[in-house]
Structure 1
Amino acid sequence: MKSDYVRIFLYFLEPAIIGVVIIMGITIVIRVFKNFINRNRQIDKTTDDSLRKLEKNKIITALIIVINIIFGLLFPFGLMVAMISPMTFDAPGSNKNFYNWIFFYATFSFPIVILVAIITSLIFLFILKSYKMAIIFSLLPMLNIIIVIFTVLLNSKL
């Protein structure tokens, strides 16, 4: 009886721990990104601003286009994964597993997220000239991939 309480406690504690780890990872990434921005500001002070912007925009544009091409090539694979994602619930009782539902939604929405990411990142890149938003939207399918990896790892522990 006591082990049931421990298992229930761990079942609810595990997602909280994972959430804390994800938040800690995000804060580390933000800190590294701030340091990167500070270094770039120092470089901008020493170089000609207009040439620097032109070169940076070309690099960012090329990076976003490469990311979109990679995810565009993953689109057919994403369609196949979305078609077989309902098989997650083939095992008896698997529809009661929380991680299976997260896995299902992440894999089922992957092709849609790819299309939305490619279209919106190109709109932000070429029409609105917002490079930060273009990068953010071009990397949006990575969120699905990370969620799938975490749910597979967490579900394998159960």
Structure 2
Amino acid sequence: MEATRNGDADGSSRLLLERQVCFRLYVASNLVTRLYRQHLDAMGLTYPQYLVMLILWEVEPQSVGQLGERLHLDSGTLTPLLKRMETAGLVQRRRDTADERRVLVALTETGRALRGRADAMLEALAQETCLSPGDFDELGQQLDQYISDLEEQLGT
């Protein structure tokens, strides 16, 4: 059976897969995550665990709610992730003494020790992402602006 091209013969249709911003972001996200995963596997971390670690390396302790807000995850998704991290000895969870309803998450010494390995990983990834430092920063700024614009549009 011969394939028939539906739509614009010159390929200018807005409905082409390759012209969809959502698809480009999806593919780029998958490829970048694969690059990270190669390094994170050696550290014994999953990509979502790495994201939690980044926040805790910045400031700890954090409440589960604060982590969820930063990661755009609900507590139903975050709690099992934190349980696995606690079992692995990376974090510890405890009730906030000022408000028993809140659970605080802090790094263990093992979790803190991974920071140096993560920093070294970023050096390797900088070369693997195929972007110069200037291009990397520019892309980051463009994505930050796009995310901000979408959050404003969606009211989140």
Same fold by TM-score, threshold 0.5 exceeded?
Answer: no
User: What TM-score do you get using the length of structure 1 for normalisation?
Assistant: 0.28
Name the structure with the higher strand share. 2
For CA contacts below 8 A with separation 6 or more, give which structure has more relative contact order.
Answer: 1
User: What TM-score do you get using the length of structure 2 for normalisation?
Assistant: 0.29
